Amino acid sequence: MTEITGGELFARALQAEGIELLFGLPSPEADPLLAQLEAHGIRLVPVRHEAAAVHMAEGLYKTSGKVAAVLGNPGPGSANLLPGVVTALHEGVPVLVITSQHRLGIVYPCPPSTFQGQDQLDLFRPAVKWGGPVFEWSRIPEVLRLAFREMWNGRPGPVHVELPAPILYATGDDETAPVIPPVAYRGTGPQASDAQLAEAAELLACAQRPVVISGTGVDRAGANDALLEIVELLGCPVLTTMAGRPTVPSDHPNYVFGFGLAGDEARSEADVLLVAGSRMGNLDLPYDGYWGDPAGKRLIQIDIDPRHLGVTRPLSLAILADARIALEGIATRLRSMDLPPRNRDDLARYRALDEEVRTAQATPILQWQGPGIHPVHAIGTIGAVFGPESIYTVDGGNTALWAYSALPPTRPRSYHSILELGMLGTGIPSAIGAKLGAPDREVVCITGDGAAGFNVMEMQSAARENLAITTIVFAEGSWTMEEPNELALYGKTFGTAQGEVRWDLVAQGLGCHGQYVERIEDLEPALRSAQQHDGPSLVCVRTDRSANLAVPEDMLARFFAVYSGPAPAGPPAPAGPGGRSPASTSE
């Protein structure tokens, strides 16, 4: 018989679930747990704001597939977690949200007299897949099992465990509360039947114009190779969603840009479409004008979440399954078939149109002479310095659009953005999580100045933890993406001016290497200096506002259609609910 605290029992249970990192801040209510972390192989990473803690967990998961825990203190500390938790729910990021709570005599319910009192279970309920409290020492492992089972049920997401202080301080016999490894209580996710895999393979093999569309679920499932094998067996075009950018390198010979005219033609002319790991949400513009008449088309959709199937486009075959297992099964069946040689004229035509549009859009950018720095020129330099092997986190409005279009192809799990909820301020903390998940790789955050302002203080967290990330802030002192709608409808702007901030000096004050760049010829040396610095760096790039506004008209029109729907041509639609830019939201 060994008497241990609830804190030690909880740490044992976390260790059994593979938790290696906990992001958050200390408090007396959680001290028995924090005191046991190191002994159980768990690193505590303190933060400057709890929402950033969840974004760090997001960067860790998107890069490495590892799950982290985050901690909020009673009342305001836990409330601060919420923006990050809501983002994780929308992004399908699994994270264990731990909220500390006061002694039981003043909570459940909280009277008005309770200092920092808050019914945190009700507060978090809409933002998590599952939530529950621990009211008994011996139930700590059981409640964690309930939480992790729901975390991985269907699409992954955040789960919430509430820990009243007396439970962590209490002691008990460890033999009365055994910790069970995941393999002993959790099963695997849904899998496609043999009949479904055979039907999908047959539809694709017999198609005249098959097209494959890859979403971010392919990247999360590690299904990139299986998807590309299908594409190469069929000799067909492959498109990605915006969030699915890292699933298919843009220099692949079958790649067609999905957010342009060539992608529209490929979808519209296809007779069989295979969509994997995407819900085909509004930012995929799932309208007939971009996808063609559904009549005469066969659409196969593979997704881990039944709620995502057939939401915006009618399906011929819905496969509820892990993307990797399903795509590997289809590839296996296609390999065994006698596939006819495919005429690649359509693919060549789509790629030629891609190149034509790209050249037309690039010409004014390449000819731009300033003054100031064009965002695309800066991104071209960033890509040349850091290359395709780095991990990129992108954040902001037009900055995120330019980065999506102009960064080099990346490896799987190496291009991270917030492309559903559109939460700004995720880039810097996500880069910290990515670096913790892949310490031997270069991690680069590209962010607009508006987005940078939300969590720039986490550069001090990077300095304290000695994490060599490079943050590049495109600084022009304006919420630039909001201006076109205001100018078009009202002839003036309101609320868009931010004022000038020297982000490099802010970074220096936080213990980081900082550099300021006003001329494009000075950018590469500044980036090389940041690259060589042993610790975090921030490069403030004075981009030109008018150049940043010059997003290609077709791309802006598509973003407006996200909000207006397939409406007739007219005045531009509002930039987005609550002032949030469509470029900071996607599918």
257, 354 Cβ separation under 8 angstroms: yes
pLDDT of residue 368: 86
pLDDT of 567 reads: 59
- pLDDT > 70? residue 172: yes
Q: Do domains 194-345 and 368-584 have the same CATH topology?
A: yes
pLDDT of residue 430: 98
Indicate the CATH number for domain 194-345: 3.40.50.1220
Query: pLDDT of 395-440, one tens digit each?
Result: 998 899 899 989 999 999 999 998 878 899 999 999 999 999 999 9
Give the tens place of pLDDT for each residue, 84-122. 999 999 999 999 999 998 887 777 777 787 777 778 999
Q: Report which of 518, 451, 503 is spatially closest to residue 478, judged by C-alpha positions.
A: 451
The pLDDT tens digits for 510-534 are 999 999 999 999 999 999 999 999 9
Q: What is residue 373's DSSP assignment?
A: B
Tell me if the domain spanning 3-184 has CATH number 3.40.50.150: no
Q: How far apart are CA 276 and CA 48, in angstroms?
A: 38
Q: What percent of the chain has pLDDT over 70?
A: 96
Take residue 58 and report the two structure tokens written for it. Answer: 């997001």
For 315, counting Cβ atoms within 10 Å of its Cβ (0-12 exposed, 13-18 middle, 19+ buried), the class is middle
E strand intervals along 277-431: 298-303, 317-320, 391-395, 415-416
Confidence of residue 585 (pLDDT cuts 50, 70, 90): very low
Can you tell me the distance from the alpha carbon of 147 to that of 145, in angstroms, rounded to the nearest whole number? 5
Residues with Cβ < 8 Å from 489, sequence gap 6 or more?
571, 572
pLDDT for 570 beyond 90: no
pLDDT for residue 78 is more than 80: yes
Confidence of residue 568 (pLDDT cuts 50, 70, 90): low
Please check the confidence at residue 60 and state whether its pLDDT lies above 70: yes
pLDDT in tens, 216-245: 999 999 999 999 999 999 999 999 998 999
Q: Is the pLDDT of residue 212 over 50?
A: yes
CATH number 3.40.50.970 is the correct assignment for the domain at 368-584: yes
Asked if residue 109 has a cis previous peptide bond (ω within 30° of 0), the answer is yes
- Name residue 159's beta-bridge partners: 96, 130
Task: Supply the pLDDT for residue 25.
Answer: 97
Confidence of residue 580 (pLDDT cuts 50, 70, 90): very low
Of 472, 466, 462, the residue nearest 432 (C-alpha)? 462
Query: What is the residue extent of each domain of the chain?
Result: 3-184, 194-345, 368-584
What's the predicted TM-score (pTM) here? 0.93
Helix (H) or strand (E) holding 364: helix 345-367
Higher pLDDT, 126 or 552: 126
Local confidence band at 578 (pLDDT 50, 70, 90 cut-offs): very low
